[in-house]
Copies of this chain bind each other. A is one copy, B any other.
Amino acid sequence: MIKARITVTLKNGVLDPQGKAIEHALSGLGFDGVGAVRQGKVFDVELAESDKAKAEADLNAMCDKLLANTVIENYSVTLT
């Protein structure tokens, strides 16, 4: 069994209102010097597969088809 972590983040230049809201909330809580905050998603996936190369190809396909919107998001796959 292979475990993987997929991280999906917004591309640079794409507006992130959720991140902005967090920025303001952190300032409001008294944390000074907080610059840009960007929020993304993380998926921990378990695969019943022993071939690492095959697993990685599958995971990339999953991101392209379902997990990430590649118009506005980047993704990275790491096997853990």
User: What is the size, in residues, of chain A's interface with B at 8 Å between Cβ atoms?
Assistant: 33
Residues of B within 8 A of A47 (CB): 33-35
A residues 46-76 with Cβ under 8 Å of B?
46-49, 58, 61-62, 65-67
Cβ of A21 to closest chain B Cβ, rounded Å: 11
**A34 near B39: Cβ-Cβ < 8 Å:** no
Number of copies: 2
**B45 near A37: Cβ-Cβ < 8 Å:** yes
Cβ of A22 to closest chain B Cβ, rounded Å: 7
Residues of B within 8 A of A39 (CB): 41-44
Q: A35-B47, A40-B41 are in contact. List 8 more A-B contacts (CB 8 A).
A: A1-B35, A19-B43, A22-B43, A22-B67, A26-B66, A31-B58, A31-B61, A34-B47
